Structure 1
Amino acid sequence: MLTLRAEQVRDAWRINHVRRGFFGTVLITIGSFTPAYLPQASPFWPAMRALKLDNPVAEIIGTGLVLAGVALLVSAWFRLRPWGDDRMVEAYRHVRHWAVLIIWGGPFVLAPPIFSHDAYSYAAQGWLVHNGINPYEQGPGVLPGGFADQVAWVWRFTPAPYGPLSLQLQHFLVDLVGHDPYISAVVMRVPALVGVALIGALLPRLAARMKIDPASAAWFATLNPVLVIDFIGGAHNDALMMGLVVLALWLTRIVGWGWVPGAVIIGVAAAIKQPALLAAYALPLVHRPWRRLELGETLDIIARAMAAMTLAIGTFAGVSWLTGLGFGWLNAVNVPGLVVTVSPFTVIGQALSWVFDVVGWQSGAEGAVRWSRSVGLLTSVAIVGTLAVTVARRRPMTFLSYSYLAVAICAPALHSWYVLWGGLLLPLAKPSPKAIRVAVWATVVLLSYAAINLAFRNGALSLGVAAIGLYFWQSRTEDLKAQRRHRRAARQREKQRNAP
């Protein structure tokens, strides 16, 4: 079996575009050692200072390497798009997508956290638990030292917003590696890799069960550059949460009663990160959609949905109690919104605040962001509620994908890995080609935002702006090529149908 798996990885490596993506992640990994990117407590600093790499030139070079690596990865992703009649596309269909994912993600495994410092916060929170301090009550800064010094200053004195099981996993990993601050941050990638493995193994199988092209689903979801960079490189706990959600959906799809253990799995996933609970409502509908508004079927579906929600919430509560941390995360629900992101409602609130400040309405300026974010939360509730009573009946996957996207986009803070909640499930919603194009371009926008943020921190803003131009030109070119291939393949199929 291992020999067969190794051969499948070698088959993937033989494809030029797969190697291009690998070289992209290698460049990102090398560039992640840029001086302005590493935390001040990083163990790499002595060596970098000895090599005279702690200077603005090194920052610009590191930034350039990262931006070039992202360009190579995006280019490779587009070239592997399994649509049309291109010979390379046909070759890709015979290559395992998980093998490509291993090749692309491999360089990140032992690298510092990429594009985000959240893994350093995870390690510091695990260190707090080890020392008997509740991370829901105190931030990492309460315990000065190597762990706290790695944490970004904005999070150093904030409580943890994550699920209690996530905190206990962090505690376990910190103990496992002997309480080394940097290694503890790196091993936070282990739960993320478990989540990515579940996504990579089960999502294409779930697509096949739903009569959706598994190659297309794997291309958009599991090989998406945002997943590769954020879930593997960034080691975000969202990866394990979504891996468990996909496991629950797959189990429900293959077995009629699978929604029962699936709901338990969703409860465990929520103990990692709370948005997983949304999936519990859709579970009973995955195997048996609510097709007719007859009294008997309606009561049966409602009973199943309530049972699934009860099981998931009960499991979540049970795990929270067993961890000894309880529901302290409720005190930190506003923590993600402490930083300014491109969340639409936050941006709107900031714009209104500026306008009110100009016209001299001080009280309005002070509350604009808060009120705008409240409107965003109410909007997400309205969207999810509407989808729950309309779309979810017949298309539960569509409900789940669009609901997760609504929750992420309307939240006070928006990060690229939040968008993956619904983005991973988008192929299962059977979107139109236009919707897929919008999603592909959204991927490019998210990567561009991450690139400009990195360039800004490294004092190379102009380089980031140039990279965005490159990404959009590159994406536009590849998008046009894909459309031409798609139209050519459609014409060929039409000729074959009309042939005598």
Structure 2
Amino acid sequence: MRSQVPAKDPAHAGTATSALWQGFAGSVMLLLGSFGVGWLASSSSLIRTQLFIVARTTPVAVITCTVLLCVGALLMLRAWLRLSQHLREWDGSSRPLLLKALTLWAAPMMVALPLFSRDSYAYIGQGRLMQQGLDPYTNGISALSNYFMLGPDTLWTEAPTPYGPVWLWIEQGAVWMANGSPELALVPFRLASLAGVVLLAVYVPRLAELHGFNPNRALWLVVLNPVLLINFIASVHNDSLMLGLVVAGIYYASIKHPVAGILLVTASIAIKPITLIALPFVGLLWAGSQAGWVRKFGMWAATLGISAGVMAAMGVVNGLGFGWLAALQTPGTVWIWYAPVGLFSHVVGFAVTLFGGAGASTTDVIQSIGQVASILLVMALAFFKVSMPPFGGLGPDLPVEHRYGQAVQRRMAWAFAVVVLLAPMIQPWYMLWLLAFFAVTGVKDGLQLRCVLYLSAFFTLIALTDQLSIFQGIPVGVVRAVAISVAVIGAFYIMFWDKKTRVLFMPGRALAQLPHERAQ
């Protein structure tokens, strides 16, 4: 269905190229801003060079870098929105432009200092544990001499690693290659993050098209999303490779290459074990739409057996066995205000404490209930009978198996959603776990799309106002106030004031709709 927007509609003035270069400018600003407030190890040689001394110890320079970060990220958000308006048809000519945008938007961040997260320095510490023959599943980074010189987040210095054996090998290899240089050790982690983004750029469109949805729209919605680029490339999170591998695995399981799918999902588990959630759904895809319970249980057993066998072999090679299973609880030790269970448990715990009760125990009980509920809901989503959507929902030309695959993967998307929503801690990049699978199984225009846009704006703001590396002599409160002010004002301008983008957030004033989900 072609939109009937007049040519002079301000929401569609300009060209897609202008949006592309606007996003590139935003990415360059993030690179420049990282010089002043990006994360550097205390032992880094860069910290003693004149450029970084001025950028990181001069109040004016630090505030300037902070403003550059905020404006840059907001420019990327706006460019992403404008790109969707310019490419309303999402036809074959969209793909080259989207890939060019992805390349230009990611490239500057590839050489930026890590932004909004110190996880990359925790990776280095865990690699050093491996290099020294220490078990990272029982030892925190604090077991290292002078561990604080790396600058990892103090929340995790005492905690065991929550990562799988493949990521531990990447960490160990990065430390070995760098030979003591934290800057060089970051390179393999950035390349791993980039590899994850590339996998998503390849397999998200393929999965969307398999289910009858426009692959170019899915590519835009997921892979060019500023939340993904900022958190996966700029912040150097290993969730990028984890998600890329599991999406690739689900694709191969969907096209009847189950062993390849299982191996890829297992590789994802060996990065970060949360993707264990995907295994029962791979078994359902392998069983097929006509399978009875005997075949389903057989395929579940085969899926688990292959995956467990591969993980066991990895455990034998690294000598750590299944130690990562005990470390699965590591991320659950903290909470954040916008996580429903985290907020509710701490508000109730605080109230119980005021009345003389055991507030901390109450908080723990509520969080444990949330965890148990998430496990039960995942089991229900995996084991209850799968109902396929009607033909009208995806088009009459789609085979039954593709409709079945769409239904199974939608169940899997909800399984990831309940695990995230019932956890006390929700990181901004957790949104991307859900977005990838909801996008390839259908995000409709209207309310569903607006939810994605609002969440993207929200988690972009969270990143900008969260972790900034600020020198001790600089007033932290002032810098944070600047970041919050610029980020909030800029985001509200894009959502509610900018004549070209506000139509996407305000349904009553929508002058145009993005194209329908159906493949062109």
TM-score by length of 1: 0.85
What are the superposed Cα offsets for residues 138-167 of structure 1, whole Å, 9 maximum, x if unpaired? 222222247753212222232211112211
Which one of the candidate residues 408, 413, 433 is aligned to 1:421? 433
> What displacement does 1:285 show?
3.6
Name the structure 2 match of 1:470.
490
Name the structure 2 match of 1:435.
448
Query: Aligned-pair RMSD on alpha carbons?
Result: 2.8
State which drifts further: 158-167 or 383-392.
Answer: 383-392
- Answer yes or no: is 1:322 the counterpart of 2:335: no
Which one of the candidate residues 28, 31, 34 is aligned to 1:29? 31
Q: Superposition pairs for residues 68-87 of structure 1, below 5 Å?
A: 68-81=71-84, 85=88
Name the structure 2 match of 1:409.
421
> What displacement does 1:351 show?
1.0
> What displacement does 1:273 show?
0.8
In the superposition, relative to structure 1, how do residues 178 and 430 fare at CA in structure 2: closer, same or farther (>3 Å)?
A: same
Q: Verify the 8 A CA contact 1:281 1:306 in the aligned structure 2.
A: no
Q: Give the Cα separation in 2 of the matches to 1:85 and 1:269.
A: 34
- Answer yes or no: is 1:350 the counterpart of 2:346: yes
Q: Give the Cα separation in 2 of the matches to 1:401 and 1:391.
A: 16
- Residue 495 of structure 2 aligns with an amino acid whose one-letter code is S
Name the structure 2 match of 1:173.
174
Q: Superposition pairs for residues 152-301 of structure 1, below 5 Å?
A: 152-254=153-255, 256=256, 258-286=257-285, 289-290=288-289, 297-301=292-296
Q: Superposition pairs for residues 5-84 of structure 1, below 5 Å?
A: 15-35=17-37, 37-47=39-49, 48=51, 50-51=53-54, 53-81=56-84
Name the structure 1 match of 2:110.
109
In the superposition, relative to structure 1, how do residues 271 and 234 fare at CA in structure 2: closer, same or farther (>3 Å)?
A: same
The structure that is helix-richer by fraction is 1
Q: Give the Cα separation in 1 of the matches to 2:515 and 2:127.
A: 53
- Residue 456 of structure 2 aligns with an amino acid whose one-letter code is T
What are the superposed Cα offsets for residues 373-426 of structure 1, whole Å, 9 maximum, x if unpaired? 112212212332232234755301101112112212222321112221121111
Q: Give the Cα separation in 2 of the matches to 1:487 and 1:280.
A: 37
State which drifts further: 63-72 or 422-431.
Answer: 422-431
Q: Superposition pairs for residues 368-379 of structure 1, below 5 Å?
A: 368-379=362-373
- Answer yes or no: is 1:480 the counterpart of 2:503: yes
Q: Secondary structure at the match of 1:241?
A: helix
Name the structure 1 match of 2:128.
127
In the superposition, relative to structure 1, how do residues 98 and 321 fare at CA in structure 2: closer, same or farther (>3 Å)?
A: farther
- Residue 324 of structure 2 aligns with an amino acid whose one-letter code is W
Q: Secondary structure at the match of 2:270?
A: helix
Q: Give the Cα separation in 1 of the matches to 2:385 and 2:220.
A: 25
- Answer yes or no: is 1:309 the counterpart of 2:304: yes
> What displacement does 1:84 show?
7.5
Q: Give the Cα separation in 2 of the matches to 1:486 and 1:289.
A: 40
- Residue 219 of structure 2 aligns with an amino acid whose one-letter code is A
In the superposition, relative to structure 1, how do residues 14 and 44 fare at CA in structure 2: closer, same or farther (>3 Å)?
A: farther
Structure 1 unmatched ranges of 5 or more: 1-12, 491-500
Name the structure 1 match of 2:9.
none
Q: Give the Cα separation in 2 of the matches to 1:317 and 1:18.
A: 46
Name the structure 2 match of 1:388.
382
Q: Give the Cα separation in 2 of the matches to 1:277 and 1:217.
A: 24
> What displacement does 1:488 show?
9.3
In the superposition, relative to structure 1, how do residues 407 and 83 fare at CA in structure 2: closer, same or farther (>3 Å)?
A: farther
Q: Give the Cα separation in 2 of the matches to 1:384 and 1:432.
A: 24
Q: Verify the 8 A CA contact 1:146 1:181 in the aligned structure 2.
A: no
Q: Give the Cα separation in 1 of the matches to 2:468 and 2:148.
A: 26
What are the superposed Cα offsets for residues 231-276 of structure 1, whole Å, 9 maximum, x if unpaired? 111221111111111111222233x2x1122112212221111012
TM-score by length of 2: 0.82
Which one of the candidate residues 441, 448, 465 is aligned to 1:452? 465
Q: Give the Cα separation in 1 of the matches to 2:514 and 2:150.
A: 57
Q: Verify the 8 A CA contact 2:141 2:159 in the aligned structure 1.
A: yes
Q: Give the Cα separation in 2 of the matches to 1:141 and 1:455.
A: 22
> What displacement does 1:14 show?
7.9
Q: Give the Cα separation in 2 of the matches to 1:378 and 1:489.
A: 40
State which drifts further: 145-154 or 396-405.
Answer: 145-154
- Residue 21 of structure 2 aligns with an amino acid whose one-letter code is R
In the superposition, relative to structure 1, how do residues 130 and 290 fare at CA in structure 2: closer, same or farther (>3 Å)?
A: same
Greater relative contact order structure (CA < 8 Å, 6+ sep):
2
> What displacement does 1:332 show?
3.1
State which drifts further: 224-233 or 352-361.
Answer: 352-361
Q: Verify the 8 A CA contact 2:42 2:149 in the aligned structure 1.
A: no
Q: Verify the 8 A CA contact 1:401 1:426 in the aligned structure 2.
A: yes
Q: Verify the 8 A CA contact 1:138 1:158 in the aligned structure 2.
A: yes
Q: Give the Cα separation in 2 of the matches to 1:44 and 1:288.
A: 54
Over the matched positions of the two proteins, sequence identity in percent amounts to 26
Query: Between Structure 1 and Structure 2, how many residues are aligned?
Result: 468
Structure 2 unmatched ranges of 5 or more: 1-14, 389-406, 471-475
Name the structure 2 match of 1:10.
none
What are the superposed Cα offsets for residues 22-76 of structure 1, whole Å, 9 maximum, x if unpaired? 1111111221222585444443322257537403333322211111111101001
Q: Verify the 8 A CA contact 2:136 2:161 in the aligned structure 1.
A: yes
> What displacement does 1:358 show?
2.4
- Residue 377 of structure 2 aligns with an amino acid whose one-letter code is I
State which drifts further: 131-140 or 427-436.
Answer: 427-436
